[in-house]
């Protein structure tokens, strides 16, 4: 009988920088190539709206990839964007976010579609991420997942996204695509 060793943060931190995205999910190592330029453009435009409406307003902090989020001993991810609201800033450490952010955003790339829609969705739901946005830059839509009673409730948004994790936050998707 073989013993399966789950990887943790020390193993993750020992991975050599190679320009790819490394993540540990349930103790397993996943690697994805760097995102393409359209992905980065969508990220920048979404980041701009979140930054001006949250960080500049003093409501919380926004980070973009690469930024390590340690959700458990064996779950370390690098979402495209994340928000931690001011009342929860205690989860921010000098090296990483230690716990579930208020918002995680993943922008789909051809190589990450299944990973983001299934594996990460289950992980984020299990770890208590209040809101998770799956951005589909090919279909010009965002799947907005909101945690209610420990389960995600989903809706697809195409024009205007009204966040639930923070009051009065509206994202104009016409400025994202």
Which residues lie below 8 Å from residue 106, measured CB to CB, with a gap of 6+?
79, 80, 112, 116, 120, 132, 133, 134, 135
User: What tokens does 39 get?
Assistant: 């992905």
| Residue, of 35 and 68, whose pLDDT is higher | 68
Residue 18: predicted pLDDT: 85
The 8-class DSSP code of residue 91 comes to G
| Residue, of 127 and 32, whose pLDDT is higher | 127
* 112 — pLDDT class (breaks 50, 70, 90): confident
The rounded mean pLDDT for the chain is 94
pLDDT at 34 over 90: no
Residue 176: predicted pLDDT: 97
- Residue 137 inside a domain? The answer is yes
pLDDT tens, position by position, 127-157:
999 999 999 999 999 999 999 999 999 999 9
- Residue 13 inside a domain? The answer is no
Residue 3: predicted pLDDT: 66
Residue 19: predicted pLDDT: 79
- Residue 148 inside a domain? The answer is yes
- Residue 23 inside a domain? The answer is no
Residue 20: predicted pLDDT: 83
The 3-state secondary structure of 115-171, one letter per residue:
HHHHHHHHHHHHCCCCEEEEEECCCCEEEEEEEECCEEEEEEECCEEECCCCCCCEE
Q: Among candidates 99, 102, 139, which has minimal Cα distance to 117? A: 139
- Residue 10 inside a domain? The answer is no
| Residue 135, domain extent | 34-175
Q: What element of type H or E holds 43?
A: helix 37-50
CATH code for the domain of 131: 3.90.1570.10
User: What tokens does 126 get?
Assistant: 């299990």
pLDDT at 158 over 70: yes
Residue 35: predicted pLDDT: 87
- Count the domains in the chain: 1
Q: How many of the other CB atoms lie within 10 Å of CB of 146?
A: 16
- Residue 2 inside a domain? The answer is no
pLDDT at 26 over 90: yes
Q: What is the mean pLDDT of residues 31-42?
A: 90
* 1 — pLDDT class (breaks 50, 70, 90): low
- Residue 15 inside a domain? The answer is no
């Amino acid at each position: 009988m073989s013993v399966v060793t789950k990887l943790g943060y020390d193993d993750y931190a020992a991975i050599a920088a190679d320009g790819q995205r490394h993540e540990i999910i349930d103790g397993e190592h996943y690697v994805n190539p760097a995102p393409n330029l359209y992905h980065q453009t969508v990220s920048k435009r979404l980041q701009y709206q979140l930054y001006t409406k949250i960080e500049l307003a003093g409501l919380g902090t926004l980070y973009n990839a690469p930024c390590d989020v340690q959700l458990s001993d064996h779950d370390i991810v690098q979402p495209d964007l994340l928000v931690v609201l001011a009342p929860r800033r205690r989860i921010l450490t000098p090296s990483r976010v230690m716990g579930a952010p208020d918002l995680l955003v993943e922008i789909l790339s051809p190589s990450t579609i299944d990973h983001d829609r299934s594996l990460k969705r289950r992980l984020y739901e299990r770890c208590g991420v209040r809101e998770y946005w799956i951005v589909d830059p090919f279909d010009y839509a965002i799947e907005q997942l909101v945690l209610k009673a420990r389960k995600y409730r989903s809706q697809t948004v195409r024009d205007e996204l009204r966040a639930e994790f923070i009051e009065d936050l509206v994202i104009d998707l016409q400025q994202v695509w």
